Chains A and B, each alone.
Chain A
Amino acid sequence: MSSRLVNWFHFSSPATFYPLAGRLVPIFAVIAVILIAVGLYLSFFVAPTDYKQGEGYRIIFVHVPAAWMSMFIYLVMAFWAALGLIFNTRLSMMMAQALAPTGALFTFLALWTGAFWGKPMWGAWWVWDARLTSELILFFLYMGYIALQGAIDDTRRADRAGAILLLVGVVNIPIIYFSVKWWNTLHQGASVSLRGDVSMATTMLVTMLIMALGFWAYSIAVALKRVRCIILERERDAGWVGKLPEIRA
């Protein structure tokens, strides 16, 4: 173990991670504000009008990055949950817990902007096709995790129950992603595929990617901020917490 350059377990200690997270939060917050500001400017004023959908398509710049984040954050949470179950690291479980509200937020945002987009283009706020339904199930998974994790008083048991729910729910992620390929859906296929095929104009794509990176930075900043609160709450009896200047003051 000593031959490794970085000992990752070093950072899995809440006492080392707490100050590190504190230093990272403002950096990612600034990145998020800049990227989202630039992204929104490009979305509204630079990206060209679509040939078919006119101006209404611009909701894509929030809708697609939010939907990507909703799936990606779930995968990250499941990763932390697996690490927590295998290595019994307290911090992993705290990371999963810290990410949940942000993931739920993005899922809700994706569903909501999707409804606003669907009404003018398709003619319906909501349809029960495979893509929309599986994304709604993802929202329920987030809610279920938050509720289950919060309903059990013993943190260790709460974490383990939540982690198992998260891992079971992972099945849903490929279903969401591939639903438009596997079945007939009202929802159109992916404009940007994992293989790198793109079916949108470059300016539109760049704008969407900038928004996605902005959402990414926002998620990191908010999750780190939240994990700091969780660390303080759970480790309140630990010696190092009592010595923190912000606690002593």
Chain B
Amino acid sequence: MKARHKRLAYLAVGLAVLAAAAVLVFQALGNNMSYFFSPTEVVEGKAPRDHVIRIGGLVKPGTLQRGQELTATFVVTDNAHDVTVRYTGILPDLFAEGQGAIAQGRLNADGVFIADEVLAKHDENYMPPEVAEALEKGHQQGKAQMSGDQP
């Protein structure tokens, strides 16, 4: 074995051990690496109750109610479970029904999430408005056809 083969072997073994260590660390960390809990995790009690946590999901369409003095109430859903969120403050521009949002705060005794910060989450799709419109139209037509096919 030449000296450089030996060094190559050391390096390969070293990197493999390092990679294994990293995998184990992140396995152990598990969900702690996540930025927010989903409504399902909150409802199932996987999220700590008496702690400031973040929950994230879609703002359920038709649930956003603006109350007095900048207080807004809305439902965050992951299409399996819902959590009601109350927030007083200015909502980000991208915040809208049907869009992703992340709220930071804690659950009160009634199971309502009292948020002190709300962030809007957007997805990885970028397109001109015309395309978005066309897609939406196609989606609606497809839906209409689907329901039309059913007797």
Which of B112-151 touch A at CB < 8 Å? 117-129, 131-133
Closest to A52 in B: B122
- Say if the beta carbon of A171 comes within 8 Å of chain B: yes
A184 B125 Cβ-Cβ under 8 A: no
A167 B131 Cβ-Cβ under 8 A: no
Given contacts A51-B131, A167-B15, contact A188 B122 (CB under 8 A): yes
- Say if the beta carbon of A209 comes within 8 Å of chain B: no
Residues in A whose Cβ lies below 8 Å from that of B37: 184
Least CB distance, A222 to chain B, in whole angstroms = 28
Residues in B whose Cβ lies below 8 Å from that of A127: 35, 119
Residues in B whose Cβ lies below 8 Å from that of A87: 4
B126 A200 Cβ-Cβ under 8 A: yes
Distance in angstroms between the alpha carbons of A124 and B101 in the assembled complex: 12
Name the residue in B19, B26, B95, B125 with the highest tally of chain A Cβ atoms < 10 Å from its Cβ. Answer: B125
B120 A167 Cβ-Cβ under 8 A: no
- Say if the beta carbon of B92 comes within 8 Å of chain A: yes
Given contacts A120-B93, A127-B35, A184-B36, contact A201 B120 (CB under 8 A): no
Distance in angstroms between the alpha carbons of A201 and B55 in the assembled complex: 31
B15 A129 Cβ-Cβ under 8 A: no
Closest to A131 in B: B35
Least CB distance, A52 to chain B, in whole angstroms = 6
A171 B92 Cβ-Cβ under 8 A: no
Residues in B whose Cβ lies below 8 Å from that of A185: 34-35
Closest to B129 in A: A51
Distance in angstroms between the alpha carbons of A167 and B13 in the assembled complex: 12
- Say if the beta carbon of B70 comes within 8 Å of chain A: no
Closest to A78 in B: B15
- Say if the beta carbon of A168 comes within 8 Å of chain B: yes
Which of B66-120 touch A at CB < 8 Å? 91-95, 102, 117-120
Residues in B whose Cβ lies below 8 Å from that of A123: 91-95, 117-120
List A residues at the B interface (Cβ < 8 Å).
48-53, 57, 60, 82, 85-88, 120-124, 127-130, 167-168, 170-171, 175, 182-186, 188-191, 199-201, 204
List B residues at the A interface (Cβ < 8 Å).
4, 7-8, 11, 14-15, 18-19, 22, 26, 31, 33-38, 56, 91-95, 102, 117-129, 131-133
